Structure 1
Amino acid sequence: MIGALNRVVEAVEADPAADVDLAAAAAEFGTTEYHLRRMFSSLAGMPLSEYVRRRRMTLAAADLIGGASERDLLDIAVRHGYGSTEAFNRAFRAVHGVSPADVRRNGGPLRAQPHLRFRLTVEGNSPMDTRITDRPSFRLIGHAARVPLIHEGVNPHIQAHVAALPASEHARLKELGDTEPAGLLQVSADVDPDYAEGSELTYLHGVAVRAEASVPDDLDVIDVDAGEWAVFQAEGAYPQVLQETWAATATDWFPSNPWRLREGPSIVAVLDRAPDFSTATCELWLPVERAG
């Protein structure tokens, strides 16, 4: 996986204006484009598309400053993958906070994106409580909403969605659940493969039921295919410990184990929690398949 990620970065450096052939890079290293995107985002802290944009604008700034003041702005825009000066100006300002004209005039300020290099360091001093389980197809049922993805801290959109449900509805859902993952579940589906901050996902507050179970008409349904799941247990301050566990799957677990993410929802089962939800014991369920 580390080799595949570095090959992607090398392709960006070779021609930042070109689109990266992720499918070819994934095939070369025996993985999938979906897994490659998710691992890049988790390890780099940004989607691949954002890294490409930042590198393009870093090199474009050098063109503007390094004796390029007389060059036509459209030529610079095209050289760095943009078909118009308007699109180039928007991207440049989004990265640097100033316009190309400001840089030509004043030489900055600039926010350079260094060339990424991925390296694997496995310390082995923080074992992860993990199990692999093979599950038949099942259904996730409950109340769904479209919400923005937030990487750190409490997601207020999810918090408001769950708070709007009466206590009686939580009890009703618990009675409907009849299979693993057990209990009330926090489900994230239709997640952007780049895992970009602010991108929309479907959040479902509900339970798991057997594939053949009948579902009340007033509940939303997500059908889940049969397959294997990696289940990670996390215990501590909530939601920080859960978010740290998610990050550790990318930095520690996936690079060290013969598994990769497959498409499907991620599921959080809360096994135990403090009355104010300040701490919790959770299981993070991620759909996986054997790599290679």
Structure 2
Amino acid sequence: MDMLQGMNDALNYIEENLDSTIDLDEVANRAFCSKYHFKRLFTLLSGITISEYIRRRRLTLAALELKDSQVKVIDIAMKYGYQSPDAFTRAFQNCHGVTPSLSRKPQQNLKAYPRMTFQLTIQGGSEMKYRIVEKDAFKVIGVKYEVEMVNGILSPTYENMIAGISDTKMGELESLSNKEPYGIVHVSVNYSESSDEKATFNQYIGAVTTQDEINEYSTLEVPALTWAIFEVEGDWLQVEKHWQRIYSEWLPTSSYELTEGPEILASKDQKNEIWISIKKK
């Protein structure tokens, strides 16, 4: 429950400072985690980056204030952190579909993004099979993609990443697997969020192996970490649902928190495991 309270305290701070500078270090402090982990956790729980959430909230309030015809557009732009009317107009139009001036017309439709809160939801007593493992460093060899995420949309898409690996190469990668987690592994690492509301990370699709590096593939060295490992039955849709349950149900009520490290999905013989790196609270 401490995690949920911390996340909501962070959202309260953001809400109180939408018309001033928002210090993401202070946001993370209120959530009792590092800035890196707060950004990652927020995106996993909400589906958008923290920068995008702040932008949407500011533009929601700006739209409401524009209904007052006595208030100048430039004053509202400056109030919500835009250094020029042009920058404000572009952001406002991307969000609401109309310019700030047109938004003042009666009957004009606009978008509103209410503030978020995080809650723990108990759903149906559905069990989650997991184990906690301390694991030495290991190596992943595979195909590396540099991925950009804007508003929850990946470039390249995951489907394109998979399609870019031939069946022959996928079989070759699977044959390299000789160490846990076994099978084909999908590893997300080096997540970061830039000031222009974009998130980036590296995606590796390959295998955990003790074999030497192979020139045509990339190598990722994973340090020694403690892992929470979850068994997942079913198709990719069930895997996605399980990711959400881990972060919204298991993590808030456990005695662990995230630590900096990769996120791994391992698939072998139609069985899946989700690996997240953790540490004791």
- Which TM-score tier does this pair reach, normalised by the shorter chain? 0.7 to 0.9
Q: 2:36, 2:192 within 8 Å by CA — same for their partners in 1? A: no
SS at match of 1:236: coil
Q: Offset at 1:24?
A: 3.0
1:231 counterpart residue number:
229
Q: Which residue number in structure 2 is paired with residue 178 of structure 1?
A: 178
Alpha-carbon deviation of 1:98?
1.2
Q: In structure 2, what residue type is equivalent to 1:232?
A: F
Match of 2:274 among 269, 275, 284: 284
Number of the residue aligned with 2:100:
100
The CA distance in 1 between the partners of 2:78 and 2:227, in whole Å, is 45
Partner of 2:158: 155
Indicate the SS of the match to 1:253.
helix
Equivalent positions of 1:3-152 (< 5 A) are 3-28=5-30, 30-65=32-67, 67=68, 69-106=69-106, 108-123=108-123, 125-149=125-149
- Structure 1 consecutive aligned stretches of length 4 or more whose deviation exceeds 4 Å: 148-152, 197-200
Tell me the distance in 2 between the aligned counterparts of 1:15 and 1:30.
Answer: 19
Instruction: State the TM-score, normalizing by the size of structure 2.
Output: 0.87
8 Å CA contact 1:35, 1:260 repeated in 2: no
Match of 2:238 among 238, 241, 263: 241
Aligned pair partner of 1:268 in 265, 269, 279: 265
Task: Determine what percentage of the aligned residue pairs are the same residue.
Answer: 31
Instruction: Give secondary structure in 2 for the equivalent of 1:42.
Output: helix
Of the three residues 254, 259, 271, the one matched with 1:257 is 254
Structure 1 unpaired stretches of 5+: 274-280
Q: TM-score, normalised by structure 1?
A: 0.84
Contact 1:147/1:157 (8 A) holds in 2: no
Deviation at 1:254, TM superposition (A): 0.7
Structure 1 Cα separation of the partners of residues 61 and 172 of structure 2: 57
Residues 56-75 of structure 1: CA deviation (Å, up to 9, x unaligned): 1111112110x2x2332211
- Say whether the 8 Å CA contact 1:147–1:202 is kept in structure 2: yes
Total equivalences in the alignment: 274
1:202, distance to aligned residue in structure 2 (A): 2.3
Q: Which whole-Å CA distance do the structure 1 matches of 2:8 and 2:110 have between them? A: 25
Deviations 1:97-117 (A, max 9, x none): 111111123352111111222
Q: Report Cα offsets for 1:234-283 as digits up to 9, x if no partner.
A: 1112x11111111111111111112222222221111222xxxxxxx210
Deviation at 1:123, TM superposition (A): 4.2
